[in-house]
Each structure stands twice: as structure tokens, then as C-alpha cells.
């Protein structure tokens, strides 16, 4: 049986040409991660070149698995939001509200999280955990992560800066990095408004050209041999992982984010592709397994959580219906390995005369990605205060504390408390009571 016979192209109303176009389209819409991921994880001391290789290879492997096991045109790559949690909350310094883990230990925690996900993909436990967390908090967590990503984008672009009296204030709007960031935001916004696919990638290219013209970055070539993955390959530390404070919370949050991000994306994208039958995803088990294996492989190679990408909807909108589209997307991810000079130029940042490092090429992309994610806010029931207040605390505390964990904790505790006061304590899942109690004890003992 040939590879083409493996994919039910005709049965799903597609053809080879359409699948190829869909795979290319999906790659164009998610390819920003090839540039963004090294920039984000280098903030916690990881080697940019090794992170890029780990990102491309692990994403390609997970994307191929999704195409072969589930036969879905749903690509996978490091999750936005998860990478910020990894770099700034888990590995960030205490001065930034982080736990101060070495990145090797953080990779170990991610590996454990992914391994648990692999086991849960074959059991019914994932459904119980999903049912335990109310929809309002799931949406609020997504929105809070979106705000956090946008906040980082605004900081990296110099649009907002630290201020002793008000925590943050407006930056110098006349400085070249800020001007370029603003122009990049406008450019991407115009492309999105015109419904042009690959808007984020084109925005990165546009800002790269502006930074080159302004002399903020230096051209270092386009094509080269792939950098070495040795600095991050199998560098995760497991031996002393559990000697670090709050490690169980970290593993839980990593698992929790991966689970809900994956399920939410699979359901959302599959609805558009008509993969749902009777309200159920026909190959959910295989899809979740592909996602979980991707996270494990990513941790071994040296990158943060791999998950299903909502950007796959762009390929599906072009008619992609089978895993063949994923083979095309995976091939392009592997081809990206030979463009490290571009990644280094784009993600390396610009050092200002005052010693700060700004990222005017990447910043507009982060801000607009925040826009994509926070759309879930409309799904929260704002009329029921027992739902609205916990959701508000979750999505508001995340960016203000620079911590995904703290937002989730405040949401869980407040939701449980308000439902009990409202006389609806029986509606709260026992798992949520248990987690809220643990988090409350954690605050008391801090």
C-alpha cells in the first residue's frame, strides 16, 4: 500500500493538490513559532540554535504522528503561553515572580507532564479532569494567557516600560524600536482585516526589513547548516527534580495546560472539518496520544510543551481533510532547519543604548497572538457572578503577577468558595475541591 492509499483523500472529499496546498497554508500560519520559540526560551538561558532544531524536529515528529495515527490535518508545535510559563514562571527569577528553576529541571518537569499525558491518553482519566474544571475557568485561563503574551509583546517592543509609581507606563514613542513595533502591529492588523493567510509570518518579515533598514539588526545570511542540538539534547534533569519547591504544582500546571489546550483545539478545529460524529471526536485517542508523545519528544530534545495548533484551521479552510496535509507541513518544518541565520537575526533582539534588550521584530507577533487567544472571553457567563468573578480573577491576575499558576490558583479557590456560598456546592467537582484545598494550604504556608 502506498502512502497516498493510506490517507482517505477521496472519501473525505479532497484531492492530493488540495492536501498539499492545505499543508503549506498551515505551515505559513504557524511558522512564526520557528522564530518566536528560540527568542522566548533563550530568555531562560537556553541556546537559540538548539531550541530551534528541537522545535522544528519535535514539531515535525508530532505532526507526522497526528497525520498517521489520527489521519487529521492538524499540525503540532510548541504552545504559545506554555513557553512563557516555562521561561518566566518556572525558570524566571524570584524578582520576576518566578521559581528560579534551571531550564534543565524545567524540561524534566515537562517530560513528567508529557509522560502522564501519554498514560492518560489510554485511560478515561482525561475526561474526568476536563469535567472537573468548569468551562468559565477554562476560557478564563486561555484569556489570561493571551493577556500575558500580549503584555510581554508590549514590553519587548518598548511600548510599555517599568515605572516606580504605577508599575508600568508608556515607553518612548519616538525611539526606533517602538516605532517599528507599532508599524508592525498596524501591518499585521491590516493583513488580518483583509483575511490574508500567513499574516503573522508576513508581519515578521515586514519588521525584519524595517529593522535592517534602520540598522537595528545585522544581516547574517539566509541558509546554513542546521545548528547543533547538543546544548539541549537529553539535557533534562530528573534525578533532583523533586527537591525543588512547588514541583508538583509545576507538573500539574504543565499537564493541565497541555490537556485543555489540546482538547480545546481538537474540538474547535474538528468541528470545522466535520470530524465530529454525535458530538464525539472519532479518533480522539490517537490525536491525544500524538500530542502527548510530541511533548515527551520535545522535552528530550530541548523545547517546551508541544500541542495541537489552532492555526491548522487555516489549512482546513483550504480544503485539507487528511493526514497527507500534515506530511507537507512536517516536511516544511524540517526544511526550516537550514535557515538558522534568519532565526538568529530575527530573534536575537536589539540592545538599546541604556542596556535593555528589545525585540521589535517579534513583539508585534506576540501582541497579535494575544488577540487571537483572548477571543474566548465572550464564552464566559458574565451574568452569573459565581462564574464571572473567578474568571475575572484568573484572567486578570495572570498578567499582573506574570504567572499562569497564580491565575489558576485564584480562579480555583474563588470558584469553589463562591459556589458554596451560593448554595451550589454540589455543582463543584470533588477534584476541584481537592485542588482548591491544596492551593489554599499552599498560600497559608507561604
CA–CA separation, 156 vs 264, rounded Å?
29
Orientation angle between helical segments 284-301 and 48-65, nearest 10 degrees: 160
pTM for the full predicted model: 0.74
CB 407 within 8 A of CB 394: yes
DSSP 8-state code for residue 43: G
Name the DSSP letter for residue 79. P
Domain hosting residue 65, numbered range: 3-445
Contact in structure between 211 and 361 (CB atoms under 8 Å): yes
Greatest CA separation found in the chain? 68
Q: Is the pLDDT of residue 259 over 90?
A: no
Mean pLDDT of 101-120: 93
Q: Would you tell me how many other CB atoms lie within 10 Å of the CB of residue 378?
A: 9
Cβ neighbours, 10 Å, residue 16: 12
Compute the average pLDDT of residues 42-61: 95
Q: What is the full DSSP assignment across 187-207?
A: HHHHHHHTT-TTHHHHHHHHH
- Per-residue pLDDT, 54: 97
129 pLDDT tier (thresholds 50, 70, 90): low
The span from the first CA to the last CA of the chain, in angstroms, equals 61
Q: 163 - beta bridge partners?
A: 167
Q: Rounded distance, CA 44 to CA 175, Å?
A: 27
Lowest mean pLDDT among 166-180, 189-203, 205-219: 189-203
Cβ neighbourhood burial of 417 (10 Å; 0-12, 13-18, 19+)? middle
What angle do the packed helices 247-273 and 103-120 form, to 10 degrees? 50
C-alpha cell at 193: 482585516
Q: Is the dihedral of CA 53, 65, 289, 269 positive or negative?
A: positive
Q: Residues with Cβ < 8 Å from 351, sequence gap 6 or more?
A: 357
**How much is the average pLDDT of 356-382?**
83
pLDDT value for 327 = 95
For residue 143, give the 3-state DSSP assignment. Answer: helix
Q: What is the CA radius of gyration of the chain?
A: 21
Q: Using pLDDT thresholds of 50, 70 and 90, give the confidence band for residue 258.
A: confident
Does residue 292 register a pLDDT over 80? yes
Q: How many domains does the chain have?
A: 1
Contact 263, 291 (CB under 8 A): no
pLDDT of residue 130: 58
The C-alpha cell that represents 164 in the structure block: 516606580
3-state DSSP call for residue 259? helix
Span 130-140, mean pLDDT? 77
Cell of 429: 467537582
pLDDT of the residue at 124:
58
Q: What is the pLDDT confidence band of residue 1, given thresholds at 50, 70 and 90?
A: low
Return d(Cα 169, Cα 154) in angstroms, integer: 11
Q: Which long-range contacts (CB under 8 A, 24 or more apart) does 186-192 make?
A: 187/364, 188/364, 188/365, 188/368, 189/368, 192/368
Instruction: Report the distance separating Cα 340 and Cα 226, nearest Å.
Output: 7
Residues 76-81: what's their mean pLDDT? Answer: 88
Per residue in 155-181, is it b (16+ CB within 10 Å) or e — as a string?
A: bbbbbbeeeeeeeeeebeeeebbbbbb
Q: What per-residue confidence (pLDDT) applies to 77?
A: 95
Residue 197 has which C-alpha cell? 493567510
Lowest mean pLDDT among 11-15, 49-53, 344-348: 344-348
Placement of cell 475526561 in the chain: 127
- Please give the sequence-ordered ranges of beta strands (E in DSSP) within 207-255, or none if there are none: none
Q: Which three cell numbers stand for residue 93?
A: 527569577
Amino acid at each position: 500500500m502506498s502512502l497516498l492509499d493510506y490517507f482517505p483523500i477521496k472519501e473525505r472529499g479532497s484531492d492530493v493538490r488540495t492536501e498539499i496546498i492545505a499543508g503549506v497554508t498551515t505551515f505559513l500560519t504557524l511558522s512564526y513559532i520557528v522564530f518566536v520559540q528560540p527568542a522566548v526560551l533563550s530568555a531562560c538561558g537556553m541556546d537559540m540554535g538548539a531550541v530551534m532544531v528541537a522545535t522544528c524536529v519535535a514539531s515535525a515528529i508530532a505532526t507526522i504522528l497526528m497525520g498517521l495515527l489520527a489521519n487529521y490535518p492538524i499540525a503540532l508545535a510548541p504552545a504559545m503561553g506554555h513557553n512563557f510559563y516555562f521561561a518566566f514562571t518556572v525558570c524566571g527569577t524570584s524578582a520576576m515572580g518566578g521559581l528560579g528553576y534551571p531550564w534543565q529541571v524545567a524540561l524534566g518537569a515537562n517530560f513528567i507532564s508529557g509522560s502522564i499525558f501519554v498514560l492518560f491518553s489510554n485511560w478515561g482519566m482525561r475526561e474526568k479532569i476536563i469535567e472537573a474544571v468548569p468551562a468559565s475557568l477554562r476560557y478564563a485561563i486561555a484569556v489570561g494567557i493571551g493577556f500575558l503574551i500580549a503584555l510581554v509583546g508590549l514590553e519587548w517592543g518598548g511600548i510599555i516600560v517599568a515605572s516606580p509609581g504605577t508599575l508600568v507606563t508608556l515607553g518612548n514613542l519616538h525611539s526606533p524600536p517602538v516605532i517599528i513595533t507599532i508599524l508592525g502591529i498596524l501591518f499585521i492588523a491590516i493583513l488580518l482585516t483583509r483575511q490574508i493567510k500567513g499574516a503573522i509570518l508576513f508581519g515578521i518579515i515586514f519588521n525584519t526589513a524595517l529593522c535592517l533598514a534602520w540598522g537595528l539588526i545585522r544581516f547574517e545570511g539566509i541558509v546554513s547548516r542546521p545548528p547543533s542540538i547538543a546544548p539541549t539534547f537529553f539535557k533534562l534533569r530528573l534525578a533532583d527534580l523533586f527537591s525543588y519547591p512547588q514541583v508538583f504544582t509545576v507538573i500539574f500546571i504543565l499537564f493541565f495546560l497541555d490537556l485543555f489546550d489540546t482538547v480545546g483545539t481538537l474540538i474547535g478545529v474538528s468541528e470545522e472539518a466535520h470530524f465530529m460524529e454525535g458530538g464525539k471526536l472519532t479518533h480522539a485517542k490517537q490525536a491525544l496520544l500524538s500530542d502527548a508523545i510530541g511533548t515527551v519528544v520535545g522535552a528530550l530534545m530541548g523545547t517546551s510543551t508541544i500541542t495541537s495548533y489552532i492555526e491548522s484551521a487555516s489549512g482546513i479552510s483550504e480544503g485539507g481533510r487528511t493526514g497527507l496535509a500534515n506530511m507537507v507541513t512536517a516536511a516544511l518544518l524540517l526544511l526550516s532547519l537550514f535557515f538558522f541565520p534568519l532565526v538568529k537575526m530575527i530573534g536575537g533582539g536589539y540592545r538599546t543604548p541604556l542596556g535593555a534588550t528589545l525585540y521589535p521584530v517579534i513583539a508585534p507577533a506576540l501582541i497579535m497572538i494575544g488577540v487571537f487567544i483572548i477571543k474566548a472571553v465572550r464564552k464566559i457567563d458574565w451574568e452569573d457572578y459565581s462564574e464571572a468573578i473567578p474568571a475575572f480573577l484568573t484572567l486578570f491576575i495572570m498578567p499582573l503577577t506574570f504567572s499562569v499558576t497564580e491565575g489558576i490558583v485564584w480562579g480555583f479557590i474563588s470558584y469553589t468558595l463562591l459556589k458554596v456560598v451560593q448554595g451550589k456546592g454540589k455543582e463543584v467537582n470533588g477534584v476541584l475541591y481537592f485542588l482548591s484545598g491544596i492551593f489554599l494550604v499552599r498560600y497559608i504556608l507561604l
